[in-house]
Amino acid sequence: MQTQVGIVGAGPAGLMLSHILHLNGIDSVVIENRSRDYIEKRVRAGVLEHGAMDLINAVGVGERMMKEGMVHHGINLRFDTETHRIDFGKLTGRDIIVYGQQEVVKDLVARRLEDGGQILFETSDASLHDIDTDSPKIRFRHNGENFELKCDLIAGCDGFHGISRPSIPEDVLTVHDHTFPFGWLGILAEAEPSSEELIYASHERGFALHSMRSPTVVRNYIQCEPDEDINNWPDQKIWDELQKRMETREGFSLNEGKIFEKGVTPMRGFVVEPMQYGNLFLAGDSAHIVPPTGAKGMNLALGDVKVLADAITSNYREGSRDKLDNYSRKCVVRVWRAQHFSWWMTSMLHPFNQHDKYQRQLQLSQLRYVATSQAAATSLAENYVGMLWEE
């Protein structure tokens, strides 16, 4: 088999890259170790920045997003049993949209297949070869047969646990890794959202987040131990804890419903530099992980492939590798901005030690400042809606 660009991973990054390359007349093949059904049902991120929304619309796959997605013009910070709204529209003139990652994946898969794109699902034993040469290869098994895919370039969009990053020699990469001393216990439940916009609650018992995936499905989180045993959290205990952490003086109450998914997510920040080696280019979670407090994961992935697609197109149309050679250098500026914002949001909202009253007062002071200062609120807002998509 032969193609111009081999893409490992059929998540938002890999699928979007394949689609943009197709629009620019560049061939690609996507290999994915999971089934189509699995990736289309895998619930992950749900918040799209203004620039991500614009990108999806610009490449012609945003019709369903605009019909079914929920546009939000702000978020709510809740502390000391009071709610303070951060108005994105007023502060930045931009907004966000809540549209699940699995829905973005569904739209991109459907479009790639409609356009005759090659997505090979349920591959196994994949490995990368000769990535530091002009003829990199991907070897894998599919439908019981061995294949070798010869490429000009390879895009590693296969996530944190994929094969792409480990294919780069260890002495080439600088790894930046930080693990937070807590996790998020997350649930999906059949319930009507209790707020029109997300609620970030900082409570002395721990952080909580009220989000949504549709008008009938909510996504809620509570801060917990990173190694929390989910069996210690029956459904009613989860709802009781959420209600306590979301309480207000006015008597706010979350809508409860049947929980159909629950799990614990560890909190970490992770970046490797450079995001490329030879003719292998990393994008999305294969190169960086952010704590989900800042809602940046899927947005960073889409931002990476926007830059990468432009660089690949320049390579073929203009015969210049300048943009390819500068791919990592350009991306990491945005990656570190998102890392800092996610760290800042996480540090401001999560009690690190519930017995440290001094640190708790510092957090409350920061929250009051953001809630009452237009300058501070604007900083939060422009980072949340995405401030570097225009570059």
Catalytic choice (292, 306, 327, 351): 292
**Residue 388: per-residue pLDDT:** 66
- Which residues of the chain carry a pLDDT beneath 70? 354-355, 388-391
Residue appearing with tokens 């807590």: 182
Mind giving me the DSSP string for 164-224?
Answer: TGGGS-GGG-EEEEEEEEEEEEEEEEES--SSSS-EEEEETTEEEEEEEEETTEEEEEEEE
Catalytic choice (50, 288, 296, 350): 296
Closest C-alpha to 288, from 268, 305, 308: 268
**Residue 290: per-residue pLDDT:** 95
Assess whether 296 carries a catalytic annotation.
yes
Which residue intervals of the chain are DSSP H helices? 12-23, 36-41, 50-58, 63-68, 88-92, 101-114, 235-245, 297-318, 322-325, 327-349, 357-372, 374-385
> With contact defined as beta carbons under 8 Å apart, do 337 and 290 qualify?
no
pLDDT in tens, 159-174: 999 999 999 999 999 9
Assess whether 200 carries a catalytic annotation.
yes
Catalytic choice (19, 50, 72, 203): 72
Residue appearing with tokens 């480990």: 166
For residue 80, give the amino acid letter: D
pLDDT in tens, 198-233: 999 999 999 999 999 888 999 999 999 999 999 999
What whole-number distance in Å separates Cα of residue 198 and Cα of residue 85?
10
Sign (positive or negative) of CA dihedral 335, 337, 340, 345: negative
Catalytic choice (50, 99, 193, 200): 200
What whole-number distance in Å separates Cα of residue 249 and Cα of residue 152?
61
* pTM of the predicted structure, to 2 decimals: 0.94
**Residue 355: per-residue pLDDT:** 62
Assess whether 292 carries a catalytic annotation.
yes
> With contact defined as beta carbons under 8 Å apart, do 10 and 37 qualify?
no
Domains of the chain listed by start with CATH number: 5-73+97-176+268-345 (3.50.50.60), 178-267+354-385 (3.30.9.10)
Residue appearing with tokens 């901005």: 337
Residue 71: C-alpha distances to residues 178, 213, 262, 377 (Å): 32, 12, 25, 20
**Residue 107: per-residue pLDDT:** 97
Catalytic choice (99, 277, 327, 384): 384
> With contact defined as beta carbons under 8 Å apart, do 259 and 228 qualify?
no
Instruction: Count Cβ neighbours within 10 Å for each residue of 190-205 and write b for 16 or more, e otherwise.
Output: ebebbbebbbbbbbee
**Residue 334: per-residue pLDDT:** 95
